Copies of this chain bind each other. A is one copy, B any other.
Amino acid sequence: MAVESMTDVRDDALRLLSNGLYVLTTVLDGMIHAAAVSWITQASFQPPLVLIALRTNSRLAQAVQKSRRFALNILGADQEALAEHFLTHLTLPADALDLAGHDYRLTQGRCPLVTEALGWLECRVAAEPPTPGDHALILAEVTGAGIRRPGQPLVLWRTRWSYGGLRD
Contacts and interface: CB of A to CB of B under 8 A. Distances in A.
B43 A132 contact: no
B17 A42 contact: yes
Interface residues of A, number: 55
Q: How many copies does the complex hold?
A: 2
A112 interface: no
B10 A48 contact: yes
A81 B112 CA distance: 41
B10 A145 contact: yes
Interface in A118-141: 118-121, 126-127, 129-135, 137, 139
Nearest to A77: B18
Contacts of A43: 39, 53, 131, 133, 135, 137
A20 interface: yes
A39 to B, nearest CB: 5
Interface string A1-42: 000001001111110111110000000000000000001111
A145 B44 contact: no
A20 B19 CA distance: 7
Given A18-B18, A157-B152, A53 B45 contact: no
Given A9-B147, A10-B48, A10-B121, 10 more contacts: A10-B145, A14-B48, A14-B50, A17-B42, A18-B155, A41-B51, A43-B137, A44-B135, A127-B130, A137-B139
